[in-house]
Each structure stands twice: as structure tokens, then as C-alpha cells.
Amino acid sequence: MTTGNIDSPQAGKISGKVKWFNNAKGYGFIVADGDEVDMFAHYSAITMEGYKTLKAGQSVLFDTKDVDNGIHAINISTIDEPSEITTEAIAESAIQEPA
């Protein structure tokens, strides 16, 4: 699934879903379709204009990169656009991190 080379992402996009994303901290995790491996997702890897955020359950396309502490999702793009982002939605997303 991953390249083994930290500097080059895997050719071709992987589809998956956002497991959770904490807007306040700027990171979360994505799971590839048909897989159970959590992949770290940082807001800087999201390829959207404006406020970069993801919502739990949102469909995404991404590349992967192996790093010492696991797999990072990079070049993340959304398949389905999130509904209107409100202050309420951001607050909800900030508390979705599992305990």
C-alpha cells in the first residue's frame, strides 16, 4: 500500500474515509476503503482552498507516505464537499477525538 520512500508518494490515489479530525489541533486520521489501518492526516496535507478541514465520515482521495512512526496521508482531496461549515460544525469536529 505504501512506497517505503519517504520523499515520493504512491502513484495513483487511494480512496477512503475520515475517521476523525480535530480542527483545533489540525490533525486526525483517515482509513482507506477496505482497510483498517489508521493513517495520520495533517491539515497541511489537505489540498483545498480556504479553511482546511475534514469531517468524520467524509470521503477522500489521498496518497500515502511511510514515516518512522506510521503512515501519513498526503495530497488529501475531498470527494464529497462538506456541507456549509459553521462555527457549530467546527466545535463538534473538535470534540470527535476518541478518548
Claim: this prediction has a pTM higher than 0.75: no
What type of residue is 86?
T
Q: What percent of the chain has pLDDT over 70?
A: 69
Report yes or no: 77 and 60 within 8 Å, Cβ to Cβ. yes
In residues, how long is the chain?
Answer: 99
Residues 61-91 pLDDT 10s = 999 999 998 899 999 999 865 555 555 555 5
Report yes or no: 41 and 29 within 8 Å, Cβ to Cβ. yes
Domains and CATH numbers, the chain: 14-94 (2.40.50.140)
Give the Cα separation of 58 and 84 in Å (integer).
Answer: 13
